[in-house]
Structure 1
Amino acid sequence: MNKLQSKTAALVFNLLNKGHERSIKIKKNILESILIKGGSVLVSLVMVPLTIDYINPSRYGIWLTISSVVAWVSFFDIGLTQGLRNKFAQAKAAGDDDRAQVYVSTAYALLGLIFCVVWLLFLVVSPFLNWSTILGITANMRAEVSTLAVIVFTYFCIQFVLKIITTILIADQSPSKAALIDFLGQVLSLVFIVVLIRMADSSLILLGIALCLSPLVILLGANFFLFAGKYQKYRPKISKVNFSYSKDLLNLGLFFFVIQIAFIIQYQTANFIIAQNFNTEDVVSYNIVFKYFGVLEMVSIIFVAPFWSASTEAFMKGDIPWIKSSIKHYNTLNILLALTSIIMLLLSSKVYELWLGKGIVDINFQLSLWGFLFFNVSIFSGKYVEFLNGISALRLQFFASLISPFVYIISALVLIKYFHVGVHAVFIAAIVANFNGFILAPLQYFQIIERNKRGIWAK
């Protein structure tokens, strides 16, 4: 047995340490991410029934919807963190640590100022917002939901600044460490939920505090720990803030900003559209399917996430064969995930019952089917979009993002109101609106890598 274990360990070691240095780094990140993301999936699966049990399905639907609506605050990021990701990776690849530190310091200063102003404006506007009308809930919940909205909004503002550290980790081709920060936040949230169930009555306010405070505690700790250690030379300093560098971040960030808006509209408005046209319990059904098949995308992201910053380095150094080889490996992964998703679809009703309990949430097969199709399209698109993001070839994606949110909303509302399609209309609309991912992005990759075209394709 010891001999077998030794051989297995040697095989794994050779596999991880064989190949291009860039590939070795990716493989190690993938292995670490599989372990961390596996833990994240387990925590997420445990948290859903516990949270529903604590506040009931309808109130859980309110929590999901208000979180989605308030998440629109990320608009004010204006793509800065994504711009930082590419600029930091480029500066580090060029060995210019001083410029990298200036980018980091400037990003913290800009986002800190932006979200401080946004938060103060929300505090002024919040008393005038009628959340009972916005969410389609009873008037007697207005005060409770208004307080919850302030808690969630405050959380989003703070975490957008603190999450710059995860952007730096990802830019440094260490996405597994960024995933670890998110995982620890989830674990702490789970601990708080268990404590609430044992010690407190059902309360949306307490739930909001528990789920918002946990990630902030972990993020704050990560900032102090990493900037005192591994990333000390990139530590943000007031003396290193240079707003003239913000032009570099904002020029690239503008493209990411518009793309980010399209992403948020397509994914965060789904809960709102369902709540307005159906009810908050249907929001829960949609989110259960999203989480279930989202496990596949999580697996895909584990493998694809390092490709963004690795592509930045490879393309800068003209290593086209490595890029082609990586895409071939990702295509193989897509096929394996598609086969897995078919099995998941066939077993979906049984899994929901085992996961949540019999009769807790009603999910029809059509909703699962369209969730299955949506995630397979999204996974196929991912590798091409990550590559194009890495080389900052964003113009086509930018123009597509100007159109896709309108395509999404119009498609969803037309399907619901005129064709009387159920909740799965939001999945159908999301597939249609993702025309950049499954048409334009693969075409753009082909033109740049296979045909060596530049011009509009590489801008």
Structure 2
Amino acid sequence: MLKKYLIPLFSFFQTFLNKGHERSIKAKKNIITSIGLKGGSIAISLLLVPLTINYVNPERYGIWLTISSIVAWFSFFDIGLTQGLRNKFAIAIAEGDDESAQVYVSTTYAILGIIFTTIWLIFLLINPFLEWSDILNVSEEFSNEISILALIVFTYFCLQFVLRVLTTIITADQEPAKASLIDLIGQGVALLLIVGLVLTTQGSLIYLGLALCIAPILALAGANFFFFSGKYKAYKPSFKKVRFSHAKSLFNLGGIFFVIQVASLVQFESANIIISRNFGPVHVTDYNIVYRYFGILNMGFMIFISPFWSASTEAFLKGDIAWIRNSIKKYNMLNILFIIAGLIMLLFSETIYTLWLGKETVNISFVLSLWGFFYFCSLMFESKYVNFLNGISALRLQFWSSLISPFLFIALVFLFIKHYQMGVYSLFLASIIANFNGLILAPLQYYMIVVKNKRGIWIR
């Protein structure tokens, strides 16, 4: 049986992995590895939700999610630098220019270190004066606890934005599986810490915040030491290699990414705040359960799409348009499979919520699940086109649409909630409509560049 079935199967699998362009081979190997790693991440993420809800109760869990969303707004101080680095680093290593690659890495670390140290010190000064109970529309008994939690979460965000430069480098090197491994290790440590808290302590937002924030920081710090002592030693950040004069080219590209990131933050991170103030923290939990559940689809699709950004940079630089077109065709076919999987998830969502979280924990409507499904289908559809355009730095149309989309999103949300009295699901609907760039402009731009070979406004 071993000779008849397993050996031929292994040979077929080995041939499949090593067949095709070197760029495709590298992508396939990373995708296969990422499937296992992301599968572990999804499993841990799903385990963490009921553990944390039961540890602190649904209302406190909603507070934790809302605080995380508020603090995430400060990520715009990244000013798009890491995205700019991703393209600049990919171009440098494609051209064999290790010197420029190290300069870009060192300069990015230096700038982000200065920025996030400054804003952390400012937050340290103003946090005691913030009325968190009023901001989140919760009882005053939570004020002191939330204030400490906010400081913990803010410190975590500042540290991780600097340390995550490494994952940008790894992804730019077309090896996103290694970045996924770092995240998996952090999640694993967090799970162990939460289990320890459940067994030894009473529900505490502060303990929860410490566990969920310390774990990923330890993983990122260890990974920085490991990679810059090994494979990426040639690009190890150094004070001697910091060139603030090079920051201009990072800022020119990063500035556009910055505007795009802010638009994304408005849509993705303001949702919890809007829900908390209009419906209460418990509904934040409902929304995020649906978000996590159908987010599995997007996480799975991103395993396949992650190598495409930096691979597109290299392919377009070398004029390999045929490879790009073939890749998009395969991603479209994969898209259909994920939509079918999403429909199955939708049909059995109520049963899965009950098995996952327990019948008494939450009561999620089918309408909320339906719009969550539609939302993530739209994200998967757009991602292949947006990743390609990001990889070749064709950002002008995305930039201008990003100036409009956050205002459109906010306007639609308040129209749906205040005028039409729609429920929490209206945030998913508003996000889909506001994301007209990904659904309409990005596919059109890809078509004009790759199929019609047009330049001008399409390539800028």
Scaled by the length of structure 1, the TM-score of the pair is 0.99
**1:12 — aligned with what?**
13
CA drift at 1:163: 0.4
- Cα-to-partner distance string for 1:77-109 (whole Å, 9 max, x where unaligned): 000000000000000001000000000000000
**2:388 — aligned with what?**
387
CA drift at 1:127: 1.2
For 1:157, the aligned partner's letter is C
**1:369 — aligned with what?**
370
**2:94 — aligned with what?**
93
**1:133 — aligned with what?**
134
**2:427 — aligned with what?**
426
CA drift at 1:359: 2.4
C-alpha distance in 1 between matches for 2:410 and 2:355: 34
**1:24 — aligned with what?**
25
C-alpha distance in 1 between matches for 2:50 and 2:260: 33
Count of matched residue pairs = 459
For 1:352, the aligned partner's letter is Y
**2:103 — aligned with what?**
102
**SS where residue 244 of structure 1 aligns?**
helix
For 1:355, the aligned partner's letter is W
User: How is 1:340-359 mapped onto 2 (pairs within 5 angstroms)?
Assistant: 340-359=341-360
- Cα-to-partner distance string for 1:371-393 (whole Å, 9 max, x where unaligned): 01001011000000000000000
C-alpha distance in 2 between matches for 1:170 and 1:95: 17
**1:414 — aligned with what?**
415
CA drift at 1:308: 0.1
**1:245 — aligned with what?**
246
Identity of aligned residues (%): 59
C-alpha distance in 1 between matches for 2:376 and 2:198: 33
- Cα-to-partner distance string for 1:7-66 (whole Å, 9 max, x where unaligned): 111111111000000000110010011000000000011110000111001100000000
User: How is 1:226-265 mapped onto 2 (pairs within 5 angstroms)?
Assistant: 226-265=227-266
**2:40 — aligned with what?**
39
For 2:2, the aligned partner's letter is N
- Cα-to-partner distance string for 1:226-284 (whole Å, 9 max, x where unaligned): 00000000000000000000001100000100000011110011101100100111000
For 1:341, the aligned partner's letter is G
Aligned: 1:120 with 2:133: no
User: How is 1:266-415 mapped onto 2 (pairs within 5 angstroms)?
Assistant: 266-415=267-416
C-alpha distance in 2 between matches for 1:207 and 1:336: 37
Scaled by the length of structure 2, the TM-score of the pair is 0.99
C-alpha distance in 1 between matches for 2:51 and 2:301: 27
**2:167 — aligned with what?**
166
For 1:96, the aligned partner's letter is D
C-alpha distance in 2 between matches for 1:141 and 1:371: 30
For 1:257, the aligned partner's letter is F
**1:177 — aligned with what?**
178
For 1:428, the aligned partner's letter is L
**SS where residue 245 of structure 2 aligns?**
coil
C-alpha distance in 2 between matches for 1:268 and 1:6: 49
For 2:114, the aligned partner's letter is L
CA drift at 1:198: 0.8
- Cα-to-partner distance string for 1:386-410 (whole Å, 9 max, x where unaligned): 0000000001000011110011111
**SS where residue 422 of structure 2 aligns?**
coil
**SS where residue 245 of structure 1 aligns?**
helix
CA drift at 1:73: 1.2
**1:64 — aligned with what?**
65
Aligned: 1:2 with 2:10: no
For 1:390, the aligned partner's letter is G
C-alpha distance in 2 between matches for 1:17 and 1:110: 40
For 1:67, the aligned partner's letter is S
**SS where residue 256 of structure 2 aligns?**
helix
**Long gaps (5+) in structure 2:** none
**SS where residue 169 of structure 2 aligns?**
helix
C-alpha distance in 2 between matches for 1:51 and 1:143: 20
- Cα-to-partner distance string for 1:131-166 (whole Å, 9 max, x where unaligned): 101101101110110010000000000000000000
**SS where residue 323 of structure 1 aligns?**
helix
C-alpha distance in 2 between matches for 1:182 and 1:412: 33
C-alpha distance in 1 between matches for 2:403 and 2:172: 26
For 1:2, the aligned partner's letter is L
Deviation beyond 4 Å, 4+ runs, structure 1:
none
CA drift at 1:124: 1.1
**Long gaps (5+) in structure 1:** none
C-alpha distance in 2 between matches for 1:429 and 1:14: 46
**SS where residue 348 of structure 2 aligns?**
helix
CA RMSD, 1 decimal:
0.6
For 1:250, the aligned partner's letter is F
C-alpha distance in 2 between matches for 1:209 and 1:44: 17
- Cα-to-partner distance string for 1:352-385 (whole Å, 9 max, x where unaligned): 0010011210100000000010010110000000
C-alpha distance in 2 between matches for 1:183 and 1:259: 27
